[in-house]
Amino acid sequence: MNGLPVSWGAPRPERADAARNRAQLLATARQMLTESGPDQLTMDALAERSGLGKGTVFRRFGTRAGIFQGLLDEVERGLQEQVLSGPPPLGPGAPPVDRLVAYGRARVRWLMQNTEIARFALDGRQPVPGGSQTPVSQMHIRMLLRHMDLGGLNVDVLAIQLTAALDGPLLLYLSTDALTNAGPQVEQNLGAAWQDLVERVCRP
């Protein structure tokens, strides 16, 4: 055998320069985003401002939406940490239902702070929006559902549906207008409605 800490699924670690460039690109992208908005964030401009070639940008992110996915991914880690090792009820230690409610509220807040990026991360050709390649949200919800007693329910599908009920409103159905004008109101409503939904679905 070999002495490497190899997991056969992860084909190969990123080369050092590649990693450096990815970081560089993300940093520049974020900067351009806050300076002049998402519409100005073109692949050409990003390449030039990073001092890199256009080919590099596409190799790293594949598509324009990919850049926004990368940005989202980065930001999502904060939420992930709170979920994995923060204080309850968001973190471990509380009953599953409470954690699910807390997670929904946190995710809504997070998504509202990143709606613009998340919208641009959508890509009709390829599904799986809202951040990392493995839909963290969905996995977490599924895990929590597994720890409840829900009769013969199909937990896997339910997890997908709940993920959609959480992200969908902000990604697909609410106008940017409503979001900017009635922001806090919307957050309250979605949060409360999520709690109602979860409690109704999960009661015995």
Partner DNA sequence: GCCGTAAGCGGACTTTACCCCGGTTGACTG
Partner DNA sequence: CAGTCAACCGGGGTAAAGTCCGCTTACGGC
**18 touches its own copies by CB under 8 A:** no
Residue 38 gets which letter from DSSP? G
Q: What single letter denotes the amino acid at residue 91?
A: G
Question: Measured from the CB of residue 200, what is the shortest distance to its own copies in angstroms?
Answer: 5
Chosen from DNA, its own copies, none, partner binding at 44 (C-beta under 5 to 8 Å by type): DNA
Residue 171 gets which letter from DSSP? I
**168 touches its own copies by CB under 8 A:** yes
Q: How far apart are CA 202 and CA 40, in angstroms?
A: 45
Q: What would the x/- binding string for DNA be over residues 19 to 58, using CB under 7 A?
A: -xx--------------------xxx------xxxxxx-x
Nearest Cα to 59, choosing from 27, 15, 120? 15
Q: Which stretch binds its own copies (CB under 8 A): 16-24, 81-89, 113-121, 140-148?
A: 113-121
**106 touches its own copies by CB under 8 A:** no
* Binds DNA (CB under 7 A): choice among 8, 9, 12, 177: 12
**17 touches DNA by CB under 7 A:** yes
Instruction: Please report, for residues 18, 149, 204, the alpha-carbon distance to residue 48 in angstroms, rounded to integers and kept in the order given.
Output: 17, 55, 58
Q: How far apart are CA 58 and CA 154, in angstroms?
A: 39
